[in-house]
Structure 1
Amino acid sequence: MNELHKESSPYLLQHANNPVHWKAWNPESLASAKEKNQLIIVSVGYSACHWCHVMEHETFEDIDAAKVMNQSFINIKVDREERPDIDAVYMKAIQIMTGRGGWPMNVVCLPDGRPVWGGTYFRKIEWMETLQQLKNLYENDPEKMIDYAEKLKNGLDAISLIPENTEASGFDFETLERLLSKWKKSFDHEFGGYTRAPKFMMPNNYAFLLRFAHQNNDKDLLEFVSLTLTKMAYGGLFDTVDGGFSRYSVDMKWHVPHFEKMLYDNGQLVSLYADAYKLTKNPLHKEVIEKTLNFISKELTNEVGGFYSALDADSLNTENHLEEGAFYSWKTEELEQLITEDFPFFSEVFNINDFGFWEEEQKYVLIQNKTLEEIAFANNIDLSDLINKKKSWEQILYNKRENRSKPRLDDKCLTSWNALMLKGFIDAYKALGDEDYLEIALKNASFITEKLWTPEGNLLHNYKDGKSSINGYLEDYCFVIEAFISLYEVTLQEKYLTDAKQLADYCFDHFFDSNQEFFSFTSNLDEKLITNHFEIEDNVISASNSVMANNLFKLSIYFKNSYYEEVSSKMLDKILPNVDYPSAFANWLQLFLNFSEENRELAICSENALEDALKFQKQYIPNVLIAGTSRESSLPFLKNRFIENQNNYYLCQNKTCDLPENNLESIFEKLN
C-alpha cells in the first residue's frame, strides 16, 4: 500500500497515488526491510524537478513497473529538500558508482541501507530489467552483493574524512593568483559564466570574484563579473516579466532554463546583485533586485512571513497537460496580437528571431542580447521612451500570463533557504534603502525564531501547514547565524548577535567533531546514516562548513572569542592545501580574504550610529566588519568605547585600533 498520503511534503504527496507501494523514510520502513530481508529502493527527488516528473509518469505510474517494485523491494520516497542528509550520502554513492549525479536519484540498497546500485533517470524497461537482475542476484548470490556494498561503504567512509594537514599550508596571495589564472581559463567571455552547458549561476563564485577584483583593482576580472551578471539578467534564465531566476540554463547563453524557480537561488542572487549595484550603480542590477523581491513577496511568501520553497518547472498547457516552460514561453502570433504596432521594436529587444527561438511550434523564451541604449540609438528613438515601452510590454505580458495555469507551488518553508532569502532582503535594503525590504526581513526573522527555534535550543528544518518538523541540519544553523549577523548590521540590535552566538554554541555541542575539527551535517541527537557527512565543497549553495567558518570569524571579533577564531582558522588551514579547482571553494577563499591583512573592523560609537552604519553599508566595502552603538554597550568589541556627546569611529585591524576619528568621511578616505 502507498503510504505517502500521510506525509506533508508536496513532493511526496505528488507520488501518493502511484501504484508503487511507497513508504517514507522512517524507522518503521527501514525495520521492515530488515525483517523481510528485502532490498530497498531509495528514490530521491524534489517537487519542482522536471525529470522527476517524467520518471514518475513513465515508470512510477505504470502498473507493470510498480508490480516489479512491489513484489521484491521496500520502496522509499525521499524529498531531498526535507532530507538533505539522506540525499547527500546516497549522492556520494551514485557519484562513486557512475561518476555523475542529479535528480531523480534512484539507489538500490541492502536491507541495512548500504547501497549496491544506482543512478539518476531511468527509462521504464531498463529500470524493470535491472531491478529483476538485482533481485535474482540477491536471492542466488547475496555474498557478491554484500561484498560490493562493503567496499562501497568503505569508499564512502574514506571520502567523508577531511584530509590531514600537519604542516603550514603555505597558501598565500601568490598561490591564489595562480589558482585564479587557472580559473580564468574556464570563463566564457561572450556570455559570461563558464564555457560549458548546462550553466548554473554559482552566486558564491561571483561574490568572491567581485570582491577580489575590487580589492585588487583587477579591471578585467570586474568586467567579466559584470558581463556575467548582465547576461544572466537579460532573460530566459531571468523572468523579465515577473522577476525571479530559474535554477539553471541548459545552453551557453543563459537562454532556456529548466524553469523551476528555487528560493535558495533567488536569495543568493539578490545578495550578489545588491553588492554589484553598490559598486557599479548599474540600473539593470537594481531592476533585477526589485523585480525578484516583488516576485518573492507576491508568490513565495506566506501570511506569517515565511518563504515558500519553489515553483515547479512544469505547468498545464493549452491542452491541459503538464509541460515544462508552458507558463513562460510565447508563440509569435500571440505576441503580435498583444504588442500590436510595437511588435518590430519588441522583437528587436526580446529577440523574436533565430537568437531567441526555443523549439518547434515557434516557441520563444524572451532574451535580450543588446542594451536598450544600443537599440534606441540604432532606431533613432529616445532612450526613455524605449524604457517606458519595455515596462509597458512586460505589464501586457504579465496580465496575459496571469490567465495561464500557474506552475505548481511547493509551499513548505525550509529554515536554511528562508535564512538565505532573509539575507537577500537585508542586502537589498543595504543597497537600495527600501524600508519595505527591512520590514519583510524582520518579519521573516520573527518567523524563524518563533516557529523554527525550539525552547530546547535547536532549530527545526521544515514548516508546513502550521507545523514545524525535522531536527535542523548544519545548513539551517549556519545560514540563520549568517542572516542574524547581517540583521545586526542594519539594526544594531545586539539581540541578533547574541542569538547568532547562542546558535553557534549549540553547533559546538551537537555538530562539532573534535577529531575532524569540522562540523558534521547532522546533529549528534539524530539517528546515524550509513556514513557521516561533512559538507566541505561549495556548490550552488555554499558548503555549510565554509559558511560556519566565516560566521565564527565574525563572531570571534564581535565577542573577542579566541576559540571561535582558532576553530575558523584551523578549518581554513585544512581546506586550503586541497584547493585545486577554486570554483568549489569560493566561500573558503572569502574566509582567506577575511584573515588577510586587508581586512578591517569598524566600531561606530555615535549618537547617530545606525544612520552612520547605513551610510557605510550603502557602499561596497566587503573587507570591513562593522559594529555600532549609540549608547554604552556590553558587546566586547564595543565595550568602553562609547562616550556621551561624542562621535567616535574606530578603524581596527587584527585586534589593534587606530585612534578614534570624529568624522565618518575620514574613515572612508582611509579605506579608499
Structure 2
Amino acid sequence: MARIFSVCTLFVFLLSACAQKKEEMKHKYTNALINETSPYLLQHAHNPVDWQPWKPEVLERAQKENKPLLISIGYAACHWCHVMERECFEDEEVAKLMNENFINIKIDREERPDVDQIYMDAIQMMSGNGGWPLNIVALPDGRPFWGATYLPKENWVKSLNQLIDLYNNQPEKIRSYASNLAKGIKAVNLVENKEEGTPFTNQQLESTVENWSKYFDTYLGGYKRAPKFMMPNNLDFLLHYGTAKNDDAILEYVNTTLTRMAYGGIFDHVGGGFSRYSVDTKWHVPHFEKMLYDNGQLASLYAKAHAATKNEYYKEVVEQTIDFVKEELTDESGGFYSSLDADSLDETGELEEGAYYVWTEDELKTLLEGDFDIFKDYFNINSYGLWEDGNYVLIRDKSSEEIAKKNEISLEALEERIDHALSVLKKAREKREKPRLDDKILTAWNGLMLQGLVDAYRYIGHPEYLDMALKNARFIKDNMFKEDGGLFRNHKEGKSTINGFLDDYATVIEAYISLYEVTFEDEWLQHAKKLTDYAIEHFQDSENQLFFYTSDDDDSLIRRSVETYDNVISSSNSIMAKNLLKLHKLYPEEPYGVIMAKMVNNVQDNFVENAQTFANWLHLVLYRNNNFYEIAIVGDNYKRLGKEVAQYYIPNSVLVGSEKDGPIELLKNRYSEGETLAYVCIEGTCKLPVSTSSGVLEQIESFEQN
C-alpha cells in the first residue's frame, strides 16, 4: 500500500513539474521569481532581468562574486511600478546591462516591510523623496549607496552605467559613503530611553490639538494640501477627543471630513469601498488602487462615527465598504486578499489607470436614459465632476435632501432612482476588464479588516458581519499561527513562509480583544494574551520597553527597526501600547501597564509638534488622564445585555462578560442567581451593579461628573 501511495505521489509531482515547464515554455524568459507566491513577484517572473527573491543565499552570492545589489521594491497595485517594468525591466538591452553587473533582487514591500522601511529611509536621506518603485543599489553586504524611484529607460541606463564605473574604479569612495549612510540609517530610527517623566497632561493635549487644527481643511475636510490621504487614525482620535471634551469644533471637522470623503470620487459609489488617496483637494480623483488596509480601517471608523452621531449615511458607507470587501477581496477560506490594482485594460487593450471606474457623459446617457438628468445633478456630471479626456469620476457635493428639494421629489423617490441607476452602472461595469487582484493574504491587514468587521457588528448590528469576523479569526488561527506560538506574515496557495512582523501581532491582538468584547468567547482573549506574551519575549527592547519591528528569530539587517510614527496605518508600537493598556485592566498582575507607561514616556516628547504622526498614541493620554471603565456583565442573559452596552460609543472602556464566574478577576464573585448584572469599574473598584444598558450609561455619566 505504501509503495502504491509513493508511486502516485511521484506521478502527481511529475505532472505538476511538467505543467510548470510547459507554462514556462510559453515565455522567452523565466527567472527565480517563478517559485514565489507573491503576485507582484510573479508579475516579474518572465522579465529578461535575472531577478532573485530576497534570501540569505542570494546575498551570500553577491559577496562571493563581489557584485553590487540592485534592489527593486514595489507592490502589485503600484501604477508606476508597472510603468517602469514595461519601459526598463522588459527591455532586453536594459536586462543585459543589469544581469552582467548586478545581483538583481525584487521585493514585494507588503511581504517584506522590514526591508522596505530601511531602504525607504535610505532614499529619503539621499534625496529627500520616497515612493515606489523604490530602486536601491547597495554593496554586496546590503549597505546602500544610491537610490531612485521611477526612472524612464534613458535615465535608468545612464544612472546604472555611472554606478558601474564608480563601483569598479572608485570602490573606496563608495564604501565610505555607504558606511556613513548606514550609520545615518541606524541613527534615524533610535528611540532614546528616557528617565521616568511627568505623564503628558490634558492641558498639553489641548495645546497639541489646537496647534494641530491649524492644518485642518474645515471646508473640504482632511488637510490643506494635495494629495489627500484619509488618515483613519487621525480621525479616530479626533472623534474620541471631540466626544470626550464635548468639543463641537473638532466634531464638526471630523464629520465634515467623513462626509466629504464619502461624497468624493475616492469612494466608489458604484461598487463600494475606498481607493487609497485623492490627487486633489476635494477628494475627487483617486489613485484608483483599492487596499484592504484602508477599507478595514475605514469600516471601523465610520461604524464608530455612526455610533457617536447616529448619522445614517455613515452606516450606509460601512455597509457598502464591507459589501465591496466581501465581493472582491474575500477568499472562500475566510481570509482577505490584499488589493485591487489601479490599472485595468481599456477598450484598446492597454493598461490604463482608472479605466474600470470612469464614465463618459454619452455612456451615462445611454445607460441611464430617463434617470440621467437627476443622476447628473446628484453626481456632478459637469465641470465639477470632469476628470480628463471626457471622463467623469462620480462625486457628490450636496446631501440627498438638497437634491430632492431642488428636483421637487420626495427623498424616498430620489433614493430609489439613484439606487436603480447605480445598479445599472454596476452591471455595465462588470462587462469591463477588472483590475488585477493581489490575492496574497497578509496577517496584519487581515487584523485590520477583522477589527473593521467587529466594529461594524458592534455598532451597526448586522449578524453577517460577526459571521465574517469569526470566519476570519479562525482562518488566522488555523493558518497564520506558528507551532512556537508566533505568527506568519503571509499566506497564499496553502503556504505561509515569512515570519510575522510586529504589526502582524499588534493588529491581530487588537482585533482578538475586540472580538472577545462582542462574543465573550474566552478563546479570543486568551489568544490575544498569548500573542502579547510572545511579542514581549521576542520583539521587545529590554532597555526602552518599545518593540522592534522584527523578532529575534529573523535574519539581521542593517538595523533592527523600531516603528513609532503613525502613518496611513497606525504604528505597530502605538497599537501594542493600546493593547497593553486594555490587557492591564484585565490582568493587573501582569507587567502590561508598566510596559505601556514606559513606551509612552519614551515617545511623548513628539506629541505637541507632530500630533498627526502620533495620533494613535494620543488615545493613551485620554485613557490615562481620564476615567477608563472596565464593564463586567454576569448572568444568564450576559450576551444580550453585553450587546446592548457594546452598541454605545464608549472608547475609554473594555467590556467583559460571562454566564457565571469567569476566568479573569473582574468576572469572579459577581454572579447572582436569576439576575444579569452589569458592573462599572475603574481599576477593579466598582459601583453597585445595574441590570440595564441605560443604567450602565448613567453610572458612567455620574463618574464623569465627579
Q: TM-score range by the shorter chain?
A: over 0.9
TM-superposed CA distance for 1:663, in Å, is 4.0
* Pair 1:243-2:263 in alignment: no
Q: Which residue matches 2:56?
A: 27
- What is the identity, as a one-letter code, of the residue corresponding to 1:518? L
Q: Which residue matches 1:333?
A: 362
Q: Which residue matches 2:446?
A: 418
* Pair 1:605-2:634 in alignment: yes
- What is the identity, as a one-letter code, of the residue corresponding to 1:294? D
* Pair 1:106-2:146 in alignment: no
Q: Which residue matches 2:513?
A: 485
Q: Which residue matches 2:200?
A: 171
TM-superposed CA distance for 1:290, in Å, is 0.8
Distance 2:119 2:397 in 1: 41
Distance 2:523 2:700 in 1: 29
Distance 1:622 1:27 in 2: 45
Q: How does 1:613-624 map to 2 (within 5 A)?
A: 613-624=642-653
* Pair 1:150-2:179 in alignment: yes
Q: Which residue matches 1:353?
A: 382
Q: Which residue matches 1:117?
A: 146
* Pair 1:367-2:395 in alignment: yes
- Aligned equivalent of 2:292, options 233, 250, 263: 263
Distance 1:429 1:651 in 2: 23
* Pair 1:12-2:41 in alignment: yes
Report SS of the residue matched to 1:24: coil
Distance 2:284 2:510 in 1: 32
Q: How does 1:214-613 map to 2 (within 5 A)?
A: 214-360=243-389, 362-579=390-607, 580-613=609-642
TM-score scaled by length of structure 2? 0.94
Distance 1:280 1:646 in 2: 32
TM-superposed CA distance for 1:597, in Å, is 2.2
Distance 2:544 2:299 in 1: 34
TM-superposed CA distance for 1:454, in Å, is 2.0
- What is the identity, as a one-letter code, of the residue corresponding to 1:353? N
Contact 2:356 2:435 in 1 (8 A): yes
Q: Deviations over 1:564-617 (max 9, x none)?
A: 000011101111112221010011001221212232221112321111111111
TM-superposed CA distance for 1:221, in Å, is 0.8
Distance 1:7 1:649 in 2: 52
Report SS of the residue matched to 1:21: coil
Change (3 A) 1:583 1:154: same
Distance 2:531 2:555 in 1: 21
Contact 2:680 2:699 in 1 (8 A): no
Distance 1:133 1:665 in 2: 72
Q: Deviations over 1:97-138 (max 9, x none)?
A: 112211111111001000101121112211111111111111
Contact 1:9 1:79 in 2 (8 A): yes
Q: Deviations over 1:262-294 (max 9, x none)?
A: 000000000000000111121211111111111
Report SS of the residue matched to 1:467: coil
Distance 1:591 1:122 in 2: 43
Q: Which residue matches 2:102?
A: 73
TM-superposed CA distance for 1:243, in Å, is 0.6
Distance 1:341 1:445 in 2: 46
Q: Deviations over 1:135-183 (max 9, x none)?
A: 1111111111111111111111112210232251452111111111111
Distance 1:27 1:525 in 2: 14
Distance 1:539 1:606 in 2: 42
Report SS of the residue matched to 2:86: helix
Distance 1:50 1:135 in 2: 28
Instruction: Single out whichever of 395-404 and 585-594 deviates more from structure 2.
Output: 585-594
Distance 1:230 1:106 in 2: 38
Instruction: Single out whichever of 636-645 and 603-612 deviates more from structure 2.
Output: 636-645
TM-superposed CA distance for 1:562, in Å, is 4.2
Distance 2:691 2:312 in 1: 34
- What is the identity, as a one-letter code, of the residue corresponding to 2:434? K
Contact 1:169 1:576 in 2 (8 A): no
Contact 2:78 2:341 in 1 (8 A): yes
Instruction: Single out whichever of 62-71 and 448-457 deviates more from structure 2.
Output: 62-71
- What is the identity, as a one-letter code, of the residue corresponding to 2:65? K
Q: Deviations over 1:401-429 (max 9, x none)?
A: 00000000001100111111111111110
Distance 1:642 1:570 in 2: 36
Distance 1:664 1:626 in 2: 12
- CA-based RMSD of the aligned residues comes to 1.2
Distance 2:628 2:262 in 1: 31
Q: Deviations over 1:488-527 (max 9, x none)?
A: 0110011111110000111111111102311111110110
Contact 1:4 1:12 in 2 (8 A): yes
Distance 1:663 1:373 in 2: 36
Any stretches of 5+ residues in structure 2 without a counterpart?
Answer: 1-29, 702-706
Contact 1:169 1:577 in 2 (8 A): no
Distance 1:647 1:449 in 2: 32
User: Number of residue pairs matched?
Assistant: 671
TM-superposed CA distance for 1:630, in Å, is 1.4
Distance 1:283 1:643 in 2: 39
TM-superposed CA distance for 1:641, in Å, is 2.1
Change (3 A) 1:302 1:170: closer
Q: Which residue matches 1:203?
A: 232
- What is the identity, as a one-letter code, of the residue corresponding to 1:292? T
Instruction: Single out whichever of 61-70 and 195-204 deviates more from structure 2.
Output: 61-70
TM-superposed CA distance for 1:61, in Å, is 1.4
- What is the identity, as a one-letter code, of the residue corresponding to 2:618? L
Percent of matched pairs sharing the same residue: 51
- What is the identity, as a one-letter code, of the residue corresponding to 1:321? E
Distance 1:613 1:276 in 2: 20
Contact 1:559 1:637 in 2 (8 A): no
Report SS of the residue matched to 1:358: coil
Q: How does 1:92-103 map to 2 (within 5 A)?
A: 92-103=121-132
Distance 1:392 1:193 in 2: 31
* Pair 1:36-2:58 in alignment: no
- What is the identity, as a one-letter code, of the residue corresponding to 1:438? L
